């Protein structure tokens, strides 16, 4: 069943300015990054990436809660943003989303974006092996799981889909709001910007269909855990530096790339707005 993307956004108060909210969110991110890096200097360099990332997300989530609680328009929007979904999250929608995200994140993005980047600039190999030496550490597993399974889904869905998407829907309409919020989501992910921009579109369509942040937050958490280095990601994330351009090392990504396009069609059929 098609749904309309033109329902007025929860953040319809004209006193809430996009530039002001965006500036404050950017300040929160900069503060969280600085404090996370400052506090996350673990003695073991192999764990530093995990602790830095965890602390950045923890500080950002805490600052975000304070910020949203302090702004009346945002605080009043929470019951709408976190209301019950307009329909229960269906198993078909969940599988369509996870399928297209896994095929994109671990397949098409890596084979069509990262592989050519490696061929052009081999030092970018570090993108493929971040923290690989720490993947067997219990501390790393716990830190990464808390960050990717809880903190990142909560804070990112609230900021990029709950706040920015709805503010921009009020000003420019649904289509441009989806595009701009996805670009902002991509910029937040730095070297993974291309991956996150496409993923941001998928997450936005989930929110627009269900009119609640709960389904997107749940699916965000599931994707991070399923595609992470301790699940499906373990088969594709690490590449030996000496043979990183050998196509034999990229067969899983190639298979997922082929699967991505029919899965994209399936996802679009289930999440495409009526207008």
Residues 32, 38, 42, 47: what is their CA dihedral angle, to the nearest 10 degrees?
40
DSSP 3-state of 231? coil
Q: Which residues contact 215 (CB under 8 A, 6 or more apart)?
A: 85, 89, 93, 206, 207
CA distance 14 to 171: 10
Buried (b) or exposed (e) across 144-156, using 16+ Cβ within 10 A? Answer: bbebbbbbbbbbb
Q: How does DSSP assign 228-259, residue by residue?
A: STTTGGGGTS---GGGTT-GGGGHHHHHHHHH
| Average pLDDT for 134-148 | 74
**pLDDT recorded at residue 128:** 60
Q: Dump pLDDT digits (tens) for 22-80.
A: 787 888 878 777 776 676 555 555 566 667 777 778 888 888 888 888 888 889 899 99
pTM of the model: 0.90
Task: For residue 131, name the pLDDT band (cuts at 50, 70, 90).
Answer: very low
List the single range of 18-22, 155-159, 207-211, 239-243 with lowest mean pLDDT: 239-243
Tokens of 88: 């229960």
As a whole number of angstroms, the distance between CA 211 and CA 84 comes to 8
Asked if 53 and 147 count as a contact pair (C-beta separation under 8 A), the reply is yes
pLDDT at 168 over 70: yes
Residues 123 and 50: their CA atoms lie apart, in Å, by 22
């Amino acid at each position: 069943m098609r749904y309309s993307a033109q329902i007025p956004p929860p953040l319809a108060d004209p006193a809430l300015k996009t530039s002001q909210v965006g500036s404050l969110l950017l300040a929160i991110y900069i503060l969280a990054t600085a404090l996370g890096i400052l506090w996350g200097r673990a003695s073991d360099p192999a764990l530093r990436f995990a602790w830095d990332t965890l602390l950045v997300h923890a500080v950002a989530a805490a600052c975000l809660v304070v910020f949203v609680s302090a702004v009346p328009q945002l605080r009043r929007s929470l019951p709408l943003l976190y209301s019950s979904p307009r329909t229960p999250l269906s198993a078909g929608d969940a599988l369509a989303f996870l399928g297209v995200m896994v095929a994109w994140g671990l397949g098409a993005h890596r084979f069509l974006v990262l592989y050519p980047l490696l061929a052009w600039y081999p030092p970018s190999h570090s993108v493929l092996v971040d923290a690989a030496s720490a993947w067997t550490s219990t501390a790393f597993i716990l830190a990464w799981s808390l960050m990717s399974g809880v903190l990142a889904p909560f804070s990112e869905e609230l900021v990029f889909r709950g706040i920015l998407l709805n503010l921009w829907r009020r000003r420019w309409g649904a289509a441009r709001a989806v595009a701009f919020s996805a670009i902002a989501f991509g910029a937040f992910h730095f070297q993974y910007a291309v991956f996150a921009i496409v993923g941001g579109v998928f997450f936005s369509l989930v929110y627009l269909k269900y009119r609640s942040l709960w389904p997107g937050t749940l699916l965000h958490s599931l994707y991070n855990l399923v595609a992470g280095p301790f699940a499906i990601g373990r088969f594709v994330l690490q590449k030996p530096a000496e043979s990183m351009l050998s196509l034999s090392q990229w067969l899983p990504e190639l298979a997922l790339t082929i699967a991505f396009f029919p899965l994209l069609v399936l996802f679009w059929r289930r999440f495409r707005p009526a207008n």
